Amino acid sequence: MTTYSNKSSFVTVVAVVFFTLLLAHNLVLADTTSASSKSRCLQCHKNKISGFSDKHAFAAAQCTTCHKGDNAASELPQAHKGLIAYPGDMKHAETACGACHAKRVNDVTHSLMNTGKGIVASTRHAFDEPLENNNGSGFKSLAHTPADSLMRKLCASCHLANSKSTHALDVTFDRGGGCSACHINSYPPDQHPALSSRVEDGRCFGCHSRSGRISLNYAGLAEIIPDELTDNAVADILQLADGRQVVKRPADVHYKAGMSCIDCHTSTGLMGGNDNTRHQQQAVDIRCTDCHNNESAKVTLSSWPQKHDSLKQYIEGDRLSQQPFLTTAHSATPLWNIRLQEDGAALLQPKLGGPALPVPAYTMVSHPLAQEHQRLHCSACHSQWAPQCYGCHTEYDPQATQKDHLLNKQTEGRWKEQRWDVRSDLPPLGVTKDDVIKPFVPGMIMTIAHPDWPTDKFRRRFAPSEPHTTGKSRSCESCHRSSIALGLGQGTFKKTGNEWTFIATEKSLEDGLAADAWTALEQATTDQPVSAGSRPFNHSEILRILDAGQLKSFP
């Protein structure tokens, strides 16, 4: 096993394994201000006049524009009176960043990345607590109930309102920081950090290598429990800086092509504000079909929607005023980095630089069963694998202490998690509230123990997922001959006449279902999935899938 135990060596690991696609900044250094107009702050912070990106070069000598303080003072205590060390923090963003970006700050304030409404609602529901209290439904509403206590201790660091505390960058441990969380990619010791729209993948990693493990999945890294490994062919286990261990799995085809997170995820999807949005699926702007089979209305520079005027600045080269641009179906956001050719072909220009990439077009030739599979989401077939955890026990110890991420200090009470049966294989499929078939993963198959409860709570819930492991389509057999794909867990089918029977491999848990199942052949689940309205396949759907192609027997 290769172990990388400190932060500096982890940077080396991710440079080789994960962040091979991150490109160096092309910073435009700003030092054009005359000496007479320079801020007095620069008498002590001389090196901080350089390093700004071109869009923020105006602030190179106007420190108090963002940092406040007293620019007229000559003594340190008075000069730093009212100083804002981290203007990007959400508690300062309205006055600092909002002076120029008022709408963006307002949108981000109401975004899921800041409010955490989805996490709060799902956790409270699992604990049988009201989804809202007198203070609302986001992280700011957290009280000290069992559910809210768990989120304070284990979840609340991964939201933008969590304040930054050091002028440094750590790919694995960075969380929070408001606008700075995404828009500062490095903290050079001899320059001011650049504020840039060039959001590198490392800015996503701190939060999104957790939960659904999207950042790990995308690069082809699967988190493991080493003691559970049975594949002797696994030659190398990598250890992340936080101690988690991963093995290599097939990376996403977009990652291998050289695309970064922001090449797909638009500013609307990342920073769009909607008070009613409670689930990630509602907030994401981009769809696979937006690039590969776009039927939405196109826009030109002359018909560009006013609310997206700021995107025009990124269009490079000679783009004729009537040249069409694709838009997203979700919110009509112009996809400014996709160039349509005269023959109808599309080229994607990576936002962090690099050669243009051809965008394969959806065709009926490559999807001959499109009519039969019209309910299937692209990811149902094209996800190569997804992280899945089929065993979890979470317990509260009132005698121990743990960091409260809202108070940013150690407090009484500690939540302990144990997990087992971690897999990185083809995921189960299920049906969303919009009647679309997508990959689902176990959001929780767990027991929760708290000393205030007379008995432990058992929960079995699955949630729709976009694994970000896109590749060649899975085989017909992997759905129509797979009990796992059908949500039944591992086991064996048998058909006698027209009747199907199924014998599960895993033992049943207290709800009567197998330990790795979401449903049973003859019944539906009694618990609700994490995403309201979603469900496993019902009995008739399972039979139709099994009988498709007149499959008679199974190995």
State how far Cα 485 lies from the chain centre: 23
What DSSP assignment string belongs to 173-237?
Answer: T----TTHHHH-----TTSPPPP-S---THHHHHHHTSTTTHHHHHTTEEEE-GGG---TT----
Give the residues across from 447 on adjacent strands: 393, 458
Give the residues across from 535 on adjacent strands: 431
What DSSP assignment string belongs to 370-391?
Answer: TTTTTTB-HHHHHB--EEEEEE
- Give the DSSP letter of residue 243: S
As given in the structure block, the two tokens for residue 101 are 């970006």
For residue 219, which of 24, 6, 424 has the smallest C-alpha distance? 424
Give the list of residues 6+ apart from residue 101 with CB closer than 8 angstroms, or none.
Answer: none
Model confidence pLDDT, tens digit, residues 185-208 = 999 989 999 999 999 999 999 999
pLDDT of residue 136: 87
| Cβ–Cβ under 8 Å, residues 201 and 19 | yes
pLDDT of residue 235: 59
Backbone angles phi, psi at 486, to 5 degrees: -85, 0
Q: How far apart are CA 200 and CA 184, in angstroms?
A: 9
Distances from the Cα of 149 to the Cαs of 238, 398, 404, 413, in angstroms? 32, 11, 8, 8
Give the residues across from 495 on adjacent strands: 500
pLDDT of residue 368: 86
Q: How far apart are CA 171 and CA 14, in angstroms?
A: 9
State the amino acid at position 111 in one-letter form: S
Q: How far apart are CA 287 and CA 157, in angstroms?
A: 28
| Cβ–Cβ under 8 Å, residues 326 and 291 | yes
pTM of the model: 0.88
Model confidence pLDDT, tens digit, residues 219-272 = 999 999 887 776 655 558 899 999 999 999 999 999 999 999 999 999 999 998
State the amino acid at position 282 in one-letter form: Q
Q: How far apart are CA 555 and CA 549, in angstroms?
A: 16
For residue 173, which of 148, 153, 203, 131 has the smallest C-alpha distance? 203
As given in the structure block, the two tokens for residue 34 are 């005359």
State the amino acid at position 136 in one-letter form: G
pLDDT < 70 regions, the chain: 1-38, 230-235, 273-278, 318-319, 524-532, 549-555
Q: How far apart are CA 463 and CA 465, in angstroms?
A: 6
Q: How far apart are CA 136 and CA 124, in angstroms?
A: 12
